[in-house]
Amino acid sequence: MLLLAGVAALLFAASSNAAGAARSLFGGEKVACSKLKSRYPDNTFLPGTSGYVYETQEPYWSATVYSSPACVFVPQNAQQVAYAVTTMTLTLAKFAMRGGGNMPIPGYNGIDSSGVLMSSSNLTTLSLSSDNSVVSVGSGNRWRDVYAYLKPSGLAAVGGRVGHVGVPGLLLGGGISFYSSEYGFASDNVLKYQCVLSSGLIVEATATNQYSDLFWALRGGGNSFCIVTRFDLRPVEGSEVHVGIGQFDQSQAVGYLDGVYNFGKYGGSDPKAAIIPTILTFPAANLTVYAAAKFYNSLTDNAEVFENFTPPKLVPVADSYTLQPLSDYISATDALQPLGLRQEFRTLSSVVDREAVQLIHDTFISNVNAELPSVANLQASITFQPVTAAFLLHSAATGGNPQGVDVSRAPYFWMVENFTWSSANDDAKVRAAADVITAKINGLLRAKVFSAKYLYMNDAGKGQPIFQSYPAANLRRLKAIRTKYDPLGVYTKLMPGGWKVADA
């Protein structure tokens, strides 16, 4: 290990010309693929094979991130991940690590022919401790797998609200959950991380062991520190909840927005309740639809908590809200998030104010229709995610996290804009429009003093200043931890995808 670190240090310390020569000498991605194929022939897929085609397309949510790496390596355990990382380091081969593949930014969970794609597809450990206090989850799982596994034990997890979202991406970005007002960020419920350091060393990080600083960094600091191969989570009691989606037509827009505001302002009075209000607009059809996913973590319903979204205040066109296993709801709603379309995210943040809700709604709808009327099959949505003070206070009680959101200004709305379309010819147009619309909304929020600083990584678009929205002291600490555990910057320079603390 010391010899490896010494060789790697010499290579990384070389000038750009010398580094290029070294990369050529070692063969870069071609030699990395050759070594992986020789050592693990059944786990390494070259272009033209069925395994390669599957791994570069099928698991991804968005067609915008399909890629053509030099090869794909699908490790089966942490030891194989460690071998791959040391191979990339010695050959100076660039690489990407893919979890669930839900982030729609090109290059963030994939790589082109200049590098190697490492897939977590085989890292699918799922095990429950004998006392039901810990569920161990491999990084290749998606949240639908976790919920389905826990259902027979009458348990669930503080995890994703969409089934095909990958476990690692959600947790490394913090993670908003239906359970967040009760239990905080999803990452606040991680008890232990098993991960591979850039040296190839496999470690386990907890809040109290020698890697407690790494543990803190992984609770929202992204992928700059290590590759996590297993998460040990604290499950929650009860696999059955009240959950479902209500849908409303355009004539009810004012009452719907009133309900969004009121839940954001007062919904935190019952931490068992959560809501995901989503406004969808279809420019070609001149149609806007209003929906609200409602969640209540109890076998006994509380009708008052969602009274602004039920008769007589609002009469839904359809409503599937009922008592059911969370895993069943997750399975059913996965069909509402089809794979293979083109996707783009942007994130926004504001305090909870009725005028702000109206401003965001009006600006988003009018500008989508003005900027993108000719884009075929375009669907654009904006989702208001209420964030209570109770949500944020859980972090400090469980070891803290890097986000450092200002609790004194809570509650907040953390919003996500999602653009969906079908043709690659429209990529540049949609992305440019998303930038324009986001800038307009942010400008209006700042002018009205409604804007909030924190930006949620998991809903962000490329270039949004995520780590700059963290407290300066936390960012400095993240950078120091990154340097401590990855002094050569393997997970920054050779694995360039994602938001990197070193670049903030």
Q: Maximum CA pair distance of the chain?
A: 73
Q: What's the average model confidence in pLDDT over 425-447?
A: 98
Q: What's the average model confidence in pLDDT over 454-482?
A: 98
pLDDT at residue 2 greater than cutoff 90: no
Distance CA(442)–CA(383), nearest Å, equals 15
Mean pLDDT computed over every residue of the chain: 94
Can you tell me the mean pLDDT for 247-270?
Answer: 96
Residue 13: per-residue pLDDT: 43
CB atoms < 10 A from the CB of 476, how many? 12
Instruction: Kindly tell me if the per-residue pLDDT of 6 is higher than 80.
Output: no
pLDDT digits (tens, 9 = 90+) for 274-325: 999 999 999 999 999 999 999 999 999 999 999 999 999 999 999 999 999 9
Domain count, the chain: 3
Residues 230 and 361 in one domain: no
Q: Looking at 101, 122, 143, which one is the last position of a domain?
A: 122
Q: Cβ contacts of residue 13 below 8 Å, gap of 6+?
A: none
- Helix 16-26 to helix 28-39 angle (10° resolution) is 30
Contact 65, 105 (CB under 8 A): yes
* pLDDT for res 27: 57
One domain, residues 255 and 224: no
pLDDT band, residue 473 (cuts 50/70/90): very high
- In degrees to the nearest 10, what's the CA dihedral of 162, 167, 173, 178? 40
Which residue range forms the structural domain that includes residue 189? 126-237
**pLDDT tens across 180-200, in order?**
999 999 999 999 999 999 999
Q: Does 499 map to a domain?
A: no
pLDDT at 237: 95
**133-168 per-position pLDDT tens digit:** 999 999 999 999 999 999 999 999 999 999 999 999
- Taking the alpha carbons at both ends of the chain, their separation in whole angstroms is 30
Q: For residue 113, what are the CA distances in angstroms to 29, 223, 292?
A: 8, 22, 42
Task: State the Cα torsion 340-343-149-396 to the nearest 10°.
Answer: 170
| Same-domain status, 227 and 257 | no
- Same domain (yes/no): 90, 224: no
Q: Confidence class of residue 41 from pLDDT cuts 50, 70 and 90?
A: very high
Lowest mean pLDDT among 6-20, 121-135, 382-396: 6-20
Read off the pLDDT of each residue in 212-219 and give the average, rounded to a whole number. Answer: 98
**pLDDT confidence band for 399 (50 / 70 / 90):** confident
Residue 134, domain member (yes or no)? yes
Q: Are residues 211 and 327 in the same domain?
A: no
Distance CA 498, CA 169 (A): 10
Cβ-contact 229, 195 below 8 angstroms:
yes
Q: Is residue 476 in a domain?
A: no
Q: Is position 481 within any domain?
A: no
In whole angstroms, what is the distance from residue 158 CA to residue 89 CA? 35
Residues 9 and 93 occupy one common structural domain: yes
pLDDT at 502 over 60: yes
Judge whether 486 lies within some domain. no
Beta bridge partners of 319: 246
User: Beta-carbon neighbour count of residue 337 at 10 Å?
Assistant: 16
At residue 51, the pLDDT reads 97
Mean pLDDT for 258-277 is: 96
182 lies in some domain: yes
What's the helix, strand, coil split of the chain in %, to 5?
A: 45, 20, 35
Pick the last residue of a domain from 79, 96, 122. 122
State phi, psi for 463 to the nearest 5 degrees: 90, -10
Task: Determine the distance from the C-alpha atom of residue 353 to the mean position of all C-alpha atoms in its chain, rounded to a whole number.
Answer: 26
> Which CATH number characterizes residue 56's domain?
3.30.43.10
In this predicted structure, the answer to whether residue 403 has a pLDDT above a threshold of 90 is yes
Contact yes or no for 185/412 (Cβ under 8 A): no
Q: Is the pLDDT of residue 20 over 60?
A: no
* CA nearest neighbour of 383 among 290, 446, 470: 290
Specify if 489 maps to a domain: no
3-state secondary structure 130-165: CCCCCEEEECCCEHHHHHHHHHHHCEECCCCCCCCC
Residues 457 and 175: their CA atoms lie apart, in Å, by: 9
159 and 109 in a common domain: no
Same domain, 68 and 189: no
Out of 237, 265, 282, a domain closes at 237
Task: Give yes or no: residues 279 and 355 share one domain.
Answer: yes
Q: Which residue has the tokens 């979890």?
A: 99
Domain identity same for 451 and 344 = yes
pLDDT in tens, 338-377: 889 999 999 999 999 999 999 999 999 999 999 999 999 9
Query: DSSP letter at 460?
Result: P
> Tens digits of per-residue pLDDT, 76-112?
999 999 999 999 999 999 999 999 999 999 999 999 9
Q: What is the CATH number of the domain that holds 280?
A: 3.40.462.20
Percent of the chain with pLDDT over 70: 95
54: CB partners within 8 A, 6+ apart: none
Do 249 and 372 lie in one domain? The reply is yes
Q: Which CATH number is 184's domain given?
A: 3.30.465.10
Cis amide bond preceding 312, omega within 30: yes
- Note whether 418 and 344 are within 8 A (CB): yes
Within a domain: residue 260?
Answer: yes
Say if residue 254 is in the same domain as residue 396. yes
